[in-house]
Amino acid sequence: MRARTLADLSAPLVALRLLATEFPDLPALSLDVSTIYPDRLTMSVHDDDAGFEAWREALNIDPESVVHHVQGGGRTRVETARTDFAGAVVELVGYSQVPAIEPVPSGAGALS
User: How much is the pLDDT for 111?
Assistant: 55
| Cα 88 to Cα 83: distance, rounded to the nearest angstrom | 8
**Rounded alpha-carbon distances, angstroms, from residue 95 to 53, 69, 72, 81, 107:** 12, 10, 11, 12, 36
Of the listed ranges 40-49, 71-80, 99-108, the one predicted with least confidence: 99-108
The number of residues in the chain equals 112
- H helices of 4-89, in order, are 10-22, 49-58
pLDDT tens for each residue of 54-63: 999 999 999 9
Sequence-ordered list of residues with C-beta below 8 angstroms from that of 9, at least 6 positions apart, any chain: 3, 33, 35, 38
Q: Indicate yes or no: pTM above 0.85.
A: no
Inform me whether the pLDDT recorded for 112 exceeds 70. no
pLDDT tens for each residue of 9-24: 999 999 999 999 999 9
Residue 87 belongs to domain spanning: 6-97
* 102, part of any domain: no
Number of domains in the chain: 1
DSSP assignment letter at 63: G
Inform me whether the pLDDT recorded for 103 exceeds 60. yes
| Cα 98 to Cα 111: distance, rounded to the nearest angstrom | 31
User: How much is the pLDDT for 101?
Assistant: 74
* 76, part of any domain: yes
**Three-class secondary structure of residue 92 per DSSP:** strand
* 39, part of any domain: yes
* 14, part of any domain: yes
User: How much is the pLDDT for 90?
Assistant: 98
